[in-house]
Structure 1
Amino acid sequence: MTEAECKLSELSGKHYLDGAYCLGQGVRHDVIDPATEMVIGQYAQATPGEISHAVAVANRAARAWWALSAPERTQALHEVARKLIAGAARLGEALTREMGKPYRESHWEAGAGASAFAYYAELARHDSGRVAAPAVAGQLQMVLKEPLGVVVSIVPYNFPCLLFAWQAAAALAAGNAVIVKPSELTSLSLLLMLEAFDHLPAGLVQLVCGDAEVGRQLVADRDTHAVAFTGSVSAAQAVARSAAERFKPVLIEASGNDPLIVMPSADIRVAARAAAFAAFLNCGQVCTSAERLYVHEAVYDEFVEALVYEARQLRVGHGLGKVDLGPMVSRRERDRVESVVAHALEQGARLRCGGHRPPRLERGWFYLPTVLEVTHEMDIMHAEIFGPLAPVCKVASLDEAIRLANDSEFGLGANIFTRDLSEAMRAIGEIESGIVWVNTPLNDNDAIPFGGRKLTGSGRELGGEGLEQFRQSKMVMISPDLADDPEWFPYPDQDAFPS
């Protein structure tokens, strides 16, 4: 067994509470390698008692963390980043075994998480408020930025390490404690990741495993103070309703159904390669995947042929091999994608490549990258696919492309490929999304906010906006001398209503 396999076995059935790994008391469930269908460990369903203990410990740790100086917190977060980079290879292997994505992507994910911690380590000490010009002469009037308290982080399976890092780095930098509830499909990888936090005050970062009920209890607990959630729309709505009972701030990233527009001025070969990456990265299990491709009729046939060529070149197999695509994360997800394709074909879609499981891979939840020619009215264009599918629709103009791009319940990201600056500027200004990529799909930047509109959710991760998500403002007014104020009682008689 490799070191990563040994660690997955060692962490099986555990939580991370009060600075230590401990065996869970609840029911255990198998964790399965999606490439081999072999059991590689178990996660334990957290009990109500374990959840309450985690919350109490987190509140204690949050107070101790905020009592430190800003440079002390900065140094501690930089140490998290250093440890994540040092352990990226082992964490990457573990994530590939548990989730399925190619090792290159898993290894990158650990490093990208480190980048977020390094960024917020510095950003958080840049300021802790501001001084305002006083409304009363001689006073000091200012705004202090303070932590919210205990942040519940609920992260999905597709980028568990990265998305947790985005949320935890900002929350910790703002002075909060964090309790993370990972997906049942990637609990062991998150447990392994928390080795990078063992130098922090005990209980500042904790992990409890389990299903949606564990998340529900954490969100509803009166002693948690904010929620950061990534997942489905229905689950996000339930989280938001529960948090609203106590007016807890909520960061929601629910779903995406991102358009990708190709115009005649684009280099079609490059645009096809970019579209293949945008549609098939992580087997399409990306919230910002290009799930609706709108291609101008002047280059439609050329583009489709180029995209089919790119899709057929992709190597599918075990993520620890020399591959470009691994398996879907679970049998249920693979079966769901198969039903999406079958329904599209029933509605008249034209299958150009893929559309089935790789015949040479008898075990594992693999599905070939699939290109379909569709019309905008088909159901496949109006729901999050979250699989290795690229539905392509012909359009007659940029006006039509933008109109169809906006005909969606979601508004996370959007792409356009063009060499025409005016077309690019129109897309940036007119597409209803939180992100627009021009000739550069799926990139992000720690310093730029990430998030969407409509049913995609609310709030932003990354950037200064991501830090503010986990801070609250306190108004402070100081009069240096305790002296009479003309606004106090009794009111002068001359200020009364004239009779």
Structure 2
Amino acid sequence: MAIETVNPYNNKSVKKFDELSEKELENKIATADKAFSSWKNSSFSERSKLLNKVASLMKEKKKELAELITLEMGKLIAQSEGEIDMCISVYEYYAENAEEFLKDKDVEVKDGKAFIRNSPIGIILGVMPWNYPFNQVARMAAPNIMAGNVIAIKHASNVPQCAKAIEDLFLEAGAPEGIYSNLFLSSKKIAKMAEDKRIAGMSLTGSEGAGSSLAEAAGKNLKKSVLELGGSDAFIVLEDADLEKAVKNAVTGRFGNMGQACTSSKRIIVVDKIADEFLKKFKEKLVGMKVGDPMDETTEVGPLSTEEAAEKIEKQVNETVKAGAKIVIGGKRIDREGAFFEPTILTDIKKGMTAYHEEIFGPVASFYRVKDENEAIELANDSSFGLGGSVFSENIERAIDVASKIDTGMVFINEHTASRPDLPFGGTKRSGYGRELSALGIEEFVNKKLIRVSE
């Protein structure tokens, strides 16, 4: 398997890395296991000091780390810098709040005393994606390291320099060797690693297929797992919405990170009364966007992560149009070198079409017009995914009522789905299970031990 940096702006190879040998992998896991034996007994103060130092180093190295993201997966440089800021906030959040989240919780009993004590469980194996190569790792590493666990990460094969940079940050911050380990491995090695008794839990962010494979391996070996998988978020706009706000959020929510986010606003569902006006304004926002080098601050449309990704989206769009959907704008590859695809809006999408059922992981918005909010809810729920979603209405109580009827893990009212350290993040149905971030995220991989004291 190639572990390689290929710049998607020009599809040129930049740097290659060797996969770990069996002996090297064993040394990594043995070192992590040894590190856990002492880290589990460390104080919250010591753990907090480490995460704050990692955050501080990221502030110092923000520009170079952001450039690594843009080099390896094509994110616009301003958005890459924003990703580093997000990471910093996650590390600082858990450094400040973990002790409070994990403090003993009393259990009411009729006699004597009982309480729950949270204890770390061991090495947590993370399988991480390329679309947010620093932030997705931070969301998994920060809470678990603060809980007293240690982390081993198999990162996406197309972002190896980002993967190595994170491990280097922890070492530079003074982390004992083994607290955070980067594993240059192929995906086919993950199932075998699940058999290792030293691996206590597994977390994956990625595709349905990868999640199913990891869940099978974890379940077979009785390991706790957390999965954050795909999404096809519904972005519902009711007739009493602030139209300008809704359109602005639709553009950002769908086309941020070139649409390569699990929580992108992939299905734009608008009540018929305002659908024409919304679509007109939505299209206008996409006309004339500057295509170019993602390292250039003025670029508005950069490449996708890989040539393979661009080819897949082209295939999905072509299949959908062939089945009868219409293109409002875009719809094809941009005629230049690199993994580019035009920002696209599709309409007249029906059941049975590719775009109706599949997640399109790129700059393609599926636009639906519906009769009323009941039809919007029905359409929103007609998906195998259930990650995030949005409802736009000036009547907040109405919006909350609609939100409560959507089968999804998160709903944002009058904004597109977003991620913050203090908000729990996760989905339902085929979007996975478990939660990241907030107090819920730090409770996934701890032993909630009951201690009972009799009178």
Instruction: Please give the TM-score of this superposition, normalised by the length of structure 2.
Output: 0.95
CA distance in 2, matches of 1:134, 1:441: 44
Larger Rg: 1
SS at the partner of 2:40?
helix
Cα distance change on mapping 1:209 and 1:116 into 2, 3 Å: same
CA distance in 2, matches of 1:404, 1:262: 13
- Given candidates 301, 325, 332, the residue that maps to 2:308 is 332
| Partner residue, 2:99 | 125
Letter in 2 for 1:99: M
Larger deviation: 454-463 or 323-332? 323-332
Equivalent residues in 2 for 1:454-493, closer than 5 Å? 454-478=429-453
Larger deviation: 252-261 or 193-202? 193-202
Q: Is the Cα–Cα contact under 8 Å of residues 316 and 324 in structure 1 kept in the other structure? A: yes
Larger deviation: 314-323 or 150-159? 314-323
Letter in 2 for 1:333: A
Q: Is the Cα–Cα contact under 8 Å of residues 101 and 326 in structure 1 kept in the other structure? A: yes
SS at the partner of 2:316?
helix
- Given candidates 114, 120, 126, the residue that maps to 1:153 is 126
Q: Is the Cα–Cα contact under 8 Å of residues 3 and 160 in structure 2 kept in the other structure? A: no
Q: RMSD across aligned C-alpha pairs, in angstroms?
A: 1.6
CA-CA distance at 1:51 after TM superposition: 2.0
Equivalent residues in 2 for 1:407-418, closer than 5 Å? 407-418=382-393
Letter in 1 for 2:289: L
CA-CA distance at 1:219 after TM superposition: 2.8
Cα distance change on mapping 1:58 and 1:318 into 2, 3 Å: same
- How far does the alpha carbon of each residue in 1:112-170 deviate from its partner, in whole angstroms, 9 at most, with x for none? 11111111112221243234456554xx5332210010000111110111010000001
Letter in 2 for 1:339: K
Letter in 2 for 1:426: D
SS at the partner of 2:391?
strand
| Partner residue, 2:363 | 388
- Given candidates 106, 112, 121, the residue that maps to 2:80 is 106
CA-CA distance at 1:194 after TM superposition: 2.4
Q: Is the Cα–Cα contact under 8 Å of residues 376 and 404 in structure 1 kept in the other structure? A: no
| Partner residue, 2:34 | 60
- Given candidates 179, 186, 191, the residue that maps to 2:164 is 191
Letter in 2 for 1:209: F
| Partner residue, 1:356 | 332
CA-CA distance at 1:417 after TM superposition: 1.6
- Given candidates 70, 74, 81, the residue that maps to 2:48 is 74
Q: Are 2:317 and 1:345 equivalent residues in the alignment? A: no
SS at the partner of 2:287?
helix
Q: Are 2:244 and 1:269 equivalent residues in the alignment? A: yes
Q: Is the Cα–Cα contact under 8 Å of residues 74 and 173 in structure 1 kept in the other structure? A: yes
| Partner residue, 2:71 | 97
Overall identity of the aligned pairs, in % = 29
| Partner residue, 1:436 | 411
CA distance in 2, matches of 1:471, 1:98: 34
CA-CA distance at 1:307 after TM superposition: 1.0
SS at the partner of 1:299?
helix
Give 5+ residue unaligned stretches, structure 2: none
Cα distance change on mapping 1:298 and 1:479 into 2, 3 Å: closer
| Partner residue, 2:140 | 167
| Partner residue, 1:303 | 278
CA distance in 2, matches of 1:467, 1:31: 32
- Given candidates 299, 302, 305, the residue that maps to 1:323 is 299
CA-CA distance at 1:43 after TM superposition: 2.5
SS at the partner of 1:381?
helix
SS at the partner of 1:144?
strand
CA distance in 2, matches of 1:285, 1:220: 32
CA-CA distance at 1:429 after TM superposition: 1.0
CA distance in 2, matches of 1:325, 1:190: 25
Q: Is the Cα–Cα contact under 8 Å of residues 43 and 210 in structure 1 kept in the other structure? A: no
Cα distance change on mapping 1:131 and 1:425 into 2, 3 Å: closer
SS at the partner of 1:169?
helix
Letter in 2 for 1:372: L
SS at the partner of 1:323?
coil
SS at the partner of 1:153?
strand
- Given candidates 354, 357, 360, the residue that maps to 1:379 is 354
Q: Are 2:198 and 1:223 equivalent residues in the alignment? A: yes
CA-CA distance at 1:369 after TM superposition: 0.1
| Partner residue, 2:375 | 400
Instruction: Please give the TM-score of this superposition, normalised by the length of structure 1.
Output: 0.87
Q: Is the Cα–Cα contact under 8 Å of residues 272 and 369 in structure 2 kept in the other structure? A: yes
CA distance in 2, matches of 1:60, 1:121: 23
CA distance in 1, matches of 2:28, 2:163: 16
- How far does the alpha carbon of each residue in 1:280-338 deviate from its partner, in whole angstroms, 9 at most, with x for none? 11111100011111111111111111111111143222210121231111111100000
CA distance in 2, matches of 1:242, 1:326: 37
SS at the partner of 2:221?
coil
- Given candidates 42, 50, 58, the residue that maps to 1:84 is 58
CA-CA distance at 1:376 after TM superposition: 3.8
| Partner residue, 2:225 | 250
CA-CA distance at 1:28 after TM superposition: 5.5
Q: Are 2:7 and 1:33 equivalent residues in the alignment? A: yes
Give 5+ residue unaligned stretches, structure 1: 1-26, 481-499
